[in-house]
Structure formats: C-alpha cells, structure tokens
Structure 1
Amino acid sequence: MKKLVRIFLLVLCGASVCSPAGACTNFIVTKGASADGSVMVSYAADSHALYGALYLTPRGRWKAGTRLPVYDWDSGRYLCDIPQAAATYGTVGNMNEHSLIIAETTFGGRSELEDPTGRIDYGSLIYITLQRARTAREAIALIAELADTYGYASSGESFSIADPGEAWIMELIGKGFEDDGRGGNARRGIVWVARRIPDGYVSAHANQSRITTFPLDDPENCLYSPDVISFAREMGYYEGPDETFSFCDAYAPADFATIRGCDARVWSFFRTVADGMDRYTDYAMGYNPDNRMPLWVKPRAKVEPKVVFDCMRDHYEGTPMDMTADIGAGGHGCPYRWRPMTFEVNGREYLNERAAATQQTGFWFVAQARPELPDDMGILWFGVDDAATSCLTPIYCSATQVPECFSEENGSMLEYSPTSAFWLFNRIAQFAYLFYDRVAPVVRASADEWETAQLEAVRKVDAEALGMSPGKRAKYLTAYSTRTAQKLFDRWNELDKYLLVKFIDGNVKGEDAAGFIDNGNGRGIPGRIEQPGYNDRWKRAVAADHGDVLKVVE
C-alpha cells in the first residue's frame, strides 16, 4: 500500500527511477512448506492514514445491466462504473469464501509508467477479483483483464495470490500515457509476470519488485503479458535477448533505498525459517546489490502458523540492523523510529530502519487456505495496529458478519470509539512505546498465550463444523469468529487496565505469588514499588552528552 509514504522515496531514493511506497509486507508459505499442510499468506496494511477494520462483502446475484462503482482504495476518489458480474462470492478481508487469498505490496517502479487516465486501482483489483474468482489462476487472468480493459490507476504492485492448492507472485506495472488521438490512452493496460512458488518453498515481497528472469515456455509455473519484454525494449529499458530479460531490473531497478528499506524485510523472514541466509547480509543492508537473494527458499523445517505470526513482529532482532540495540532505541529499547525515514547530521544523511513490525499498521493478517478441509473453512487470522503489540484472532472465510470491534462503521482515524479494537490496540501500543522493555514483554506474552490457545481451539471447531451442511456451517463459523473476536477485545481491555496500574509513572509495582499486583496492607496501597530506571547504554549516552552538568559532586 502506498498511502502517504512517498516521503520515503523522496528522501531515500533521490534521483532514482524507483518509487517504492515502503509500506507493506507479505510472507508466503506453500502447502508443502507448512507444518499443517496449509497455504499461508501474511499481510501488513501499513499506512499513517489507514483505519484498521475488517471488510466484508456478502455474496450476491445481480440483474443484467447492474453497474459496480469503483473507488480508489487509498483516497476514496471515484474512478468509474463497471458492469457487475451476474454472481459474486462472499469475501471477508482479503479472502473469499473459496479460500482465495490476495495481498499486496507496492513497489512503485518507473514513475513515467503511471497512467493518469486509469480507472482501476490496485485495491479495487484485489477486492473485485476476490468477488469474481475461485482460484489463483482465475485471479491472475481477471486482474490482467480488468487492468487492460479499464486502465490501471496505480503504480507498480506485487500481489500474493493463493488458493488451497498453490501460491503465486504476480508483479505488474502500467504503461504510461500516449494520446491515441481521440483523448484516450494508446498504452492503456499493464505489463506483468506471475510465477508459481514451487511447493515446499517460501517466498516474500516487501515493496520492491522481486521477479528477475523467468521461464518463457512454462505456463504451468509462469504466466506473463505478451508484451512484457517488447514494451521494455520500446521504452529503452532493455536491449538483450528474451531469455535474459529481468522484470524488476527493467521496470523497478533496485537501489540502496529499496534494498535496505524493503528487501531487508524479506531477508529477515528468510533467515528466520531457512539456513544459509547470512550470506546475503551485505545485500540486505544495501551494501552489495549484486549479491541478490533468490525469489524463494526452502525452509529448514516445516513452518508452523505461529512462526509466521511472529515473523510479522520482527524488528531485525539479532542482526546488525537490530532496532532495539542502538542508542536510537532510547532508554527502554524501543524498536521504533518516528518518521521521516532519514535524518541529517553535519551534512551527512542517515536512515531510520524499516522492519516488518511498524507503528503505522492499519490491519494485518495471516491467511490460511487449507486443502484438507472444504474451501469455505479457510481462516483469516486477523489483527489491527502494530503486529508486535497486537494479537491475531481466527475469522473463518465463510463468515457473513464482522465483529463489532472490527467494523468499518465503528470509529475512524478521526473518531475515537471505546468499542473499537483499532483504538484499543493503539492505546496499548502507545503506552508500550514509552516503556518498551517493561510493557512490551507483557503484551507479547498475552498475545502468545491467546494465539496458541486459538490455534488449538480451531481444531475442535473444525471437527464440529465438518459434520454440518454448508449453510449451517457458515452460521456456526460466523458465530464462532465474531464471538471469539469480541472475547479478545474484552481480554485486551483488561490488559489495558492492568498495564496502566502496574507501570504508571515509570514505576513497576510488584506482584504476589498468584500473579496479582501486590496489595500490601490490603488497603489499596502498593506493597512493593520498583524503579528500574533506564538501560546502561542510555545512561552512558546521557553522561557523555550532559555529564558536566549532571555529575554528582562530593
């Protein structure tokens, strides 16, 4: 997603032809690489202006001549009307009732290829396609058809497209504008390529195009627009033979900014689940762009869903880019750097790291298409706000109702709501950012406990639902999904109160053997209060900066 994040490109890319949004992250796990045989896709919808909510569209049947209005997902700007399909599938979030999953990250690419006359943006491509396609291959064909028919209204995109059988990466970009003499665009449409991730492998993308060369005669594993190479030649982006053509090098060349701010997130995921990734550390840091990572890797062991959940919480811990380890983390090891993305000292420019977990996440999920179960039993593990200080809860893909705490109608970015999960999780996150080394571990332990319990609970729900008719099953799974989400909301409300009582004013109140805050004499006066202060790195930095004034003199 690209909402309001172009400052990242302006500052980091400089005169580069690339224009990444630097905003979203997708991890993809094929069924042969997952511990439970599911296909998994993760997504963080990151934007400083996006309200975290769960979108739902019921299935429908439509009269001939019905029109569907199209609005730009980022801005809400009206784009056009298109003919409505005769029948549409139900969707919840970025998943439909047949367990088709579509997620995205914006890579931007060459700015001259944006089409000001385009009428289908990347968000509309996702949600319209989810309503009309059953499989990943159908989705790829439909995305191309829609963009070519109505014109593409966004910049370069990478899509994760998965169903219960397979997972694909599709990358596309517009073709710019050329007047056709009638006020239209002679270049309307997109150039694109889609690659199927081999079963047993994992892949990822994070705001930088990642497809390089691709097989030209393997439609089982690679699909592409007929002019993807010839158009690059026409535009002067490529001169070599077809066999060595690289999509990303032609349409979205990488530079320091896109590698360090984008591909580094892919590298961190890869190194968590696969061996040998430290050989690409210099690439991830932007120091050696020739040492490019592969598009997919084979994990050292089958990947558990909880591992994918936790990879979305990454801040480069344990790497040279560890955001908790330098003085920028402050006196409490906070792994966040407020925008803008760069700063200048004595004429030298420096960057703020961009990790998978980030403060501006609107919503995030890990979707599971599960081939061993009916297609209507896929699960969207859904959460709102920063992944590191929030929690996922299971929403079945056949759900026909959204929990109140996740409703689009419940609050907004400009309207606080006490019953909104987005505002509740943000409130806890803001407190955690102040005392991260104290508060965040408590929040993370609560999230781990909840998610582990729910992963176990859905097994029993699955077994119960399998014996039902599809209609009865949808009602049962909807009730379970909404009820469980509201339980999480109630639990997090209690956590919010507990954190404030325990950590108010920089103090840490002691607890008794049962885990309750120590009531001392029983009259509401704390029995024990600790004041841990700041970490040693911070103390040394303060002493070096201002010690002459702060030193104690005998």
Structure 2
Amino acid sequence: MKKLLIAILAILTFSVHQSNAQSVFDQVNDPYFGESCTSIMVGKKASTDGSVITSHTCDGRYRTWLDIEKGQKFEKDTTLEIYKGSLKTETAWDRRNMKVVGAIPQAKETYAYLNTAYPCLNEKQLAIGESTIVGPKELVNDEGMFLIEELERVALQRCTTARGAIELIGKLIKEYGYGDWGECITIADKKEVWQLEIFGEGPDKIGGVWAAQRIPDDHIGVSANISRIGVIEKNNKDYFMYSENVFSVAKELERWDGNEEFKFWKAYGKVEKPFKIREFFIMNALAPSLKLDFEADELPFSVKPDQKVSVRDVIALYRETYEGTKYDMTQNLNVVRKKYNKEKEEIGVDTIKALNANPWPNGDNRKLYNYLKDESVEYQRTVAVSWCSYSHIIQLRDWLPDEIGGRAWFSFDNPGQSPRIPIYCGTTELPESFQYCGQQRYREDAAIWQYRKANKLATLQWQSTREGMMEEVAYFEEKGFTELPKLEVQIQKLLKEGKTKEAKVLLNKYTRDFTGATMLRWKELENEYWGKFGLGF
C-alpha cells in the first residue's frame, strides 16, 4: 500500500511540477517562460569574510544529475564537439535527443569542473550562475552553434578568471554563433564577479550581441530573468566589456534610434523596466536604507548593502517566499476554528492560517482559492519555488588553496525546504545517486527524490510541518558551518605535505557522508509525514 501511495505522490508531484514549469521548456508564450532562475552576486568587499559569491537556482524541468568532469591534456589538432539537447538527459551517458551541432579546436589542457545542467564551478575557483532573460524572438538564430550551457562548459574547461571567460565567450559567439534565447550568466573568480548578458543578432546573422558589467566589490547584484545592464560606459574598461556590434545591431534592427541614451536592457530586453519582484525584494532586503521603490521605472544595477553579507545570508534569501509581507501568497488563506473550555463547551472562535496554506500553490489551487473568494491569492514569483531542479550558492576565497577556496552549497528540489550539501573545488567524486536525473520519471536511485518526497508531503499541511522541517534545514546548515573550518585545516595540512590525492579523497568522503546524513533524515521525515496521514493529518 505504501509503495502505491508513493507512486501516486510521484505522479501528482511530477504533474504539479510540469504545470508550474512546463513553459520554461516548451511554450514561449506561457507567462512562466523566462521565470526560471535567480542569481545573487556579492563582491568581495560586500561579503563578511572577503569571499566573492555567485549563485543559481535551476528552476524548471532540467536534468538533476551532476558529476565532476575531469581535466585532461590533448594532442594537437584535437577537436571538441558542441551539443544541443544536454539539459534534459537522464544520465551522463544518456545521448537520447542530443545532437552534435559542430566542433571547435580543443584546448591543450582543460580544467576539472562541476558538471551541473548549467556547468558552474571549476578547479581554479571560476564559478558561473545563470538566469534566462529571454528577449525578443526576432533576435534568436537557431543556426547559431552555441547554447548557453555549452558556452559555460567551454569557459570552465579553459579559463581561470571572469574576464578571461567573458573574452572567450565573446570570441566563440562571434566565430560560431549564438543559438539561444537571451541569457545572463554571472561569472565570478577569486577577485570579482561580472554579469554577462547575451542575445542573438537576428535569424540571418551567425553571431550575437553581448554586454558585461562588473558588480563593484562593495556591492551586491541580482539577475532574475530580466536584462538589467543599462548605460554602457565605453571608456570604463574596468567595469564594462561588450561586443563590437552592440550599438550597430540595435540600430539595424530599429531597437534604438541612435539619438536617445543607449541602454542595453531597453534595446534588447523586451521589458518595460529592468526589474520585477525578486530583484526588488532582494536588493531592498540587503539595502533597506535606500528605500527602493517597487513602482520606480528603474532600480540601480547593483547596491551597496547596509551591512556586509554572509554566505548564510544568501542561503536564507534563497529560501525566501515573502512571508509576512504584502507579497505573501498565504496571507488570505485563513480558516475559522472553534475554541472550547476544559468542559469542552464552545466559548468562541479563532481565525488561523489554514494548515494546508503554503507559499507554493500551483495554478489550479490558486484558481480554486480565487473562485471561492476573489483575490484570495495574487501570484508572486517567489525566490524559492517548488519547481526548482537544483540550486547552488558558490563562494570563492583567494586566501585558501583552490582545492578548498571554492565551495558550492548545493541543494536538490525546492531551496525553501531542502538542506544544502558542500561540494569543493577539490572534490573529484560525488555520491552515486547524483548520477541519475529524477525529472523524467520517479526513480529511487535519483538523489532528488530522496528530498522531494518529504518536501512535497510537507506542503500538504505546511503550517504544521514547516517548523520541524526548518529545524532540520537549520541543523544541517549549522553542521556544515561548524565542521568545515576544521575540515579545511586538515586539507591544508595534507596539501602542504604534498598529499594532494589524500586531501581530495577526504573531501569526497565528507561530501558523501554529509549527503548520506541529509538523505537519511529526509527519509525519516517522509515516514513521519506518512504516519500523520494515518492519524487524519
């Protein structure tokens, strides 16, 4: 019976997941298209410990398998195949629906990198976040060789700095063409973080247009599916990089008249203004003294936070659902409960939050609530969403060896519910369950389902499960931040002794053991929630 219930839950979960996120992959005109990822950036002087931070939520039905792609050395005249279709595969060896679209000369040597759906971190502390910014259809050229995930892969294989990665990506786009919708990638190294926005230049042009702007070291930035780069300061090369055709293409396509002030987001972004709720909420949360206005025509590209930002602050922002604010989608989901005295006599009523009220209602639930009472739920795009495949917050630290200087705080499924697992630059192996994607179907061997089952069950009575689940999330967060400094001391000692292999084995074991502990606890939560159903939960 329990297996049947789990199977039913899997089907329901996947259908809800699809209903929320299907448009990210299939229907350009659906309102969810482009509402797929959030990236928060922190400059080294804006962070509490001097680290540079970039991040990413992969929101949608993308692959959830990940592995460590090893660095290699190559002979002369070797080529690298470029693919389309890698975002939906079920394993690293699954080649269904993948297509080789071309090849480029291979580098003499490549670096190891963390191979997520959107590749994110290499062994040299180069990290990349991603956020689709869509743009107008008229800019898209399907014949361009490179999709954004392949540009990220090549950059991580070959580059050690953010500026070097931007330069390489610009060259690849110019020579081989960009074949994707508008994309932003937030590229960070040990010193600085940049926001790079890329578009095609029309269906008849093999190439692309792009601009990159650096987040000042004492600022934070946000990219959340909207082009945000504004005026390009041509003579400020320390903060701006851009394609040589960025102005001419805008003129040719009549997206800029050549007279008014040129703003990149206005020319290419297909948006009324360069921000929505997520950019506003995050910036306002970190810099409330600026008194940013959600009704403004434009927000600053980046802001200086009122207080320095820790990586734990960023982790907390990725759990954000705007609870307690006017954007809270549960604020009107209340029920009346009768009150009784000791003699079980009715003495009045209380208005309380409905136990099933949760900040991730799917479309049908929102329609039902609003049918019963108009304007019960006004949809808001929260930072944490139930249709997230995975997310990571990456911090880069130049005072430590690369093996431990860069670390990703990684989670599967809803970032508002799941624990985060530390993965270092020096990690060379991941747990076996990370090798399988759980987005195509329910499968026990896929890591994501070890968290998703408890997460989805918890939302059915979120007002009663939330406190306990958040205690577990907090426990593992504290566990990581307490244990990792000690681990890093051990790793540094091994590296100084020349025991690099032993150091990496220790990193592998820590990630494996930490993962195992979180999976075990989430399995216990799953069983606990099933048990409550038997009591009329």
Q: TM-score, normalised by structure 2?
A: 0.83
- Could you say if the C-alpha distance between residues 386 and 275 of structure 1 is closer, same or farther in structure 2, counting changes exceeding 3 Å? same
Give the corresponding residue for 1:491: 521
How far does the alpha carbon of each residue in 1:473-516 deviate from its partner, in whole angstroms, 9 at most, with x for none?
22322222222222222232223223333464543xxxxxxxxx
Letter of the 2:147 counterpart = D
* Inter-partner Cα distance in structure 1 for 2:232 and 2:183: 17
Q: For the residues of structure 1 that align with 2:378 and 2:459, how far apart are their CA atoms? A: 20
1:88 aligns with 2:110: yes
Residue 197 (structure 2) pairs with residue 156 (structure 1) = no
Q: Partner of 2:359: helix, strand, or coil?
A: coil
C-alpha change, 1:491 and 1:218, in structure 2 (3 Å) is: same
Partner of 1:212: 230
Paired residue for 2:294? 281
Tell me how far 1:471 sits from its aligned partner: 3.8
Label 1:6 to 1:419 Cα distance change in 2 as closer, same or farther (>3 A).
closer
Q: CA deviation at 1:341?
A: 11
Partner of 1:250: 267
Counterpart of 1:109?
Answer: 135
C-alpha separation between the residues in 2 aligned to 1:318 and 1:295?
Answer: 27
Find out whether 1:203 has 2:221 as its counterpart: yes
Q: Is the 8 A contact 2:419 2:473 kept in 1?
A: yes
Partner residue in 2 for 1:77: 98
SS in 1 for 2:476: helix
In structure 2, the residue matched to 1:320 is: 326
Q: Do the aligned residues in 1 keep the contact of 2:280 with 2:292 (CA within 8 Å)?
A: no
Residues in 2 aligned to 1:192 and 1:237: alpha-carbon distance in whole angstroms: 15
**How far does the alpha carbon of each residue in 1:188-209 deviate from its partner, in whole angstroms, 9 at most, with x for none?**
1111111111111100111000
Instruction: Check 1:66–1:351 CA distance in 2 against 1; reply closer, same or farther (3 A cut).
Output: farther
Change (3 A) 1:361 1:238: same
Contact 1:53–1:384, Cα closer than 8 Å, also in 2: no
Following the alignment from structure 1 to structure 2, what is the Cα–Cα distance between the partners of residues 479 and 171?
A: 37
Give the aligned residue type for 1:164: K
Q: Which residue of 2 aligns with 1:5?
A: 24
Q: 1:369 to 1:110 in 2, by over 3 A?
A: same
Cα 1:116–1:63 change in 2 (3 A) is same
| Residues 340 and 110 (structure 1), Cα distance of their counterparts in 2 relative to 1, 3 Å cut | farther
Question: How far has the Cα of 1:371 moved from its partner?
Answer: 1.4
More displaced stretch, 472-481 vs 424-433: 472-481
Q: CA deviation at 1:435?
A: 0.5
Counterpart in the other structure of 2:158: 132
* TM-score computed with the length of structure 1 as normaliser: 0.80
Counterpart residue number, 2:429: 401
Partner of 1:422: 448
Structure 1 residue aligned with 2:310, among 304, 312, 317?
A: 304
1:515 is matched with which residue? none
Query: 1:268 Cα deviation (Å)?
Result: 1.5
Is 1:500 the counterpart of 2:518? The answer is: no
Q: 1:334 is matched with which residue: 341, 358, 363?
A: 358
Match of 1:431, SS?
helix
How far apart in 2 are the matches of 1:433 and 1:203? 31
Structure 1 unaligned residues grouped into runs of 5+: 14-19, 179-186, 284-289, 508-554
- Confirm whether residue 481 of structure 1 aligns to residue 511 of structure 2: yes
Amino acid at match of 2:431: P
Q: Does 1:369 align with 2:414?
A: no
Unaligned runs of 5+ in 2: 1-20, 89-96, 335-352
Identity of aligned residues (%): 29
Q: What CA RMSD, in Å, does the superposition of the two structures yield over aligned residues?
A: 2.6
Structure 2 CA distance for aligned equivalents of residues 276 and 504 of structure 1: 50
Q: Hey, what does 2:299 align to over in structure 1?
A: 293
Shift of 1:376: 2.4
1:31 correspondence with 2:57: no
1:391 to 412, 416, 419: 419
Q: Distance in 2 between matches of 1:504 and 1:357?
A: 30
Task: Return the alpha-carbon distance in structure 1 between the equivalents of residues 281 and 410 of structure 2.
Answer: 22
Number of aligned positions between the proteins: 476
Matched residue type, 1:379: R
Corresponding residue for residue 177 of structure 1: 203
Secondary structure of the 2:241 match is strand
Quick one: which amino acid aligns to residue 21 of structure 1?
G
**1:380 matches 2:413:** no
Contact 2:185 2:197 in 1 (8 A): yes
Q: How far off is 1:74 after superposition?
A: 3.4
- The residue type equivalent to 1:395 in the other structure is I
Tell me, yes or no, if the aligned pair for 1:395 and 1:482 is still in contact at 8 Å: no
Whether the 8 Å contact between 1:90 and 1:398 is mirrored in structure 2 is no
SS in 1 for 2:288: coil
Aligned-residue offset at 1:277: 5.4
Q: Where in structure 2 are the equivalents of 1:396-545 lying within 5 Å?
A: 396-407=424-435, 410=436, 412-469=438-495, 470-502=500-532, 504-507=534-537
